[in-house]
Structure 1
């Protein structure tokens, strides 16, 4: 049962094909960004553990996610099993790490929650696969690029990869990643620009997210 639930979450991420990644100290801004993404059609969202207000703000977002069963809210920038336990207790549906930390594979054994480790070498990808990761984060994507994904999948075609960092909401960039074989992309500052956030231009942000989703659907179909 645990394995089936984990696989179902991974499949949802794969079907969504985009995972917006966001953090802000202001809970109201965090909630507005989540609502905009959801209204635009996003089904998976990663809040990142990057500030003192992360846990408090995650709880605000979880209150919204709990009212929308079609939305998966996960936590990112997690570097220990203890950190993951804290956010899992608050309802996180998946746990993303920027690094491969072998002890964190216990997350999957002790909960129904996917562990998505960050990997930057073939050796790390193989190790993550051996430890049971169903989905692997390619990080930093801006350094590794689509060529890294192509090289990994040439020898490990069954591995599911999701880059974060360096993914741009343009048809050329997204095509390069999906043609290389990623199942989804994580996107943060390229999607939520400083200008949109500072102006709280939620309608502009919704259009940007919708346009990005449209491009991904066009590429995949």
Structure 2
């Protein structure tokens, strides 16, 4: 099984990819460790802070001690950014939009890329480029109805909603009932208060409970 298939399998098995960014490397390390110990095996750090590249580089080195963990980079808009983060060891690339030049570059490098799509036209284009997973973004605006509509015409497509996905039984059930492959979860999972006060045990318990909830919904 190639690397891309392994990452997809890990995404599907856990059902949830945490989406996180922070300018403090020690905070980022603690969050990554909490997520891993809670059962996360695919983690997306996002390129949103001015020092995101420095933090990611350090985080990637730190992540090597966690067996079976895949660390990707999100919020990638340019080939230059994709190049830089892949050089630093990113396992996969996530974009908020459908960006052909980034896609062609990742295809050339045989790297898993996940584009953000918000219309059937974009989803179809992504599929034509060879997308193995599409990010429905922003999820809270598109809703589960969008996923159902896409799946009705492209049933074999893997979809991951990101943005506004909540760690509640009601919200997660709506998404998984619509047929999502996995979900991306950011601010709803990482409460600012919990992070700023360093309550990493609380965070670990919340992530673990969310993963358990997903398994329960799926079964």
What TM-score does the superposition give when structure 2 sets the normalisation length? Answer: 0.97
> Counterpart of 1:31?
29
4+ runs deviating over 6 angstroms: none
Once the two structures are TM-superposed, the CA of residue 109 in structure 1 deviates from its matched residue by 2.5
1:216 corresponds to 2:209: no
> Counterpart of 1:148?
146
Equivalent position to 1:67, from 60, 65, 68:
65
Q: CA RMSD in A?
A: 1.1
153-162 or 11-20, which moves further after superposition?
Answer: 11-20
Once the two structures are TM-superposed, the CA of residue 59 in structure 1 deviates from its matched residue by 1.1
Work out whether residues 14 and 39 of structure 2, in 8 Å CA contact, stay in contact via their aligned partners in 1. no
Once the two structures are TM-superposed, the CA of residue 100 in structure 1 deviates from its matched residue by 0.4
Cα distance in 1 for residues equivalent to 2:125 and 2:110: 21
1:180 corresponds to 2:169: no
Cα distance in 1 for residues equivalent to 2:44 and 2:108: 21
> Counterpart of 2:7?
9
> Which structure 2 residue ranges, 5 or more long, are not aligned?
none
Cα distance in 1 for residues equivalent to 2:133 and 2:11: 9
Work out whether residues 107 and 115 of structure 1, in 8 Å CA contact, stay in contact via their aligned partners in 2. no
Once the two structures are TM-superposed, the CA of residue 14 in structure 1 deviates from its matched residue by 1.5
> Which structure 1 residue ranges, 5 or more long, are not aligned?
none
Equivalent position to 1:20, from 14, 18, 25:
18
Work out whether residues 136 and 160 of structure 1, in 8 Å CA contact, stay in contact via their aligned partners in 2. yes
Cα distance in 1 for residues equivalent to 2:43 and 2:102: 21
* Paired positions, count: 219
What TM-score does the superposition give when structure 1 sets the normalisation length? Answer: 0.96
> Counterpart of 1:45?
43
Cα distance in 2 for residues equivalent to 1:12 and 1:107: 23
Cα 1:107/1:67, change in 2 over 3 Å: farther
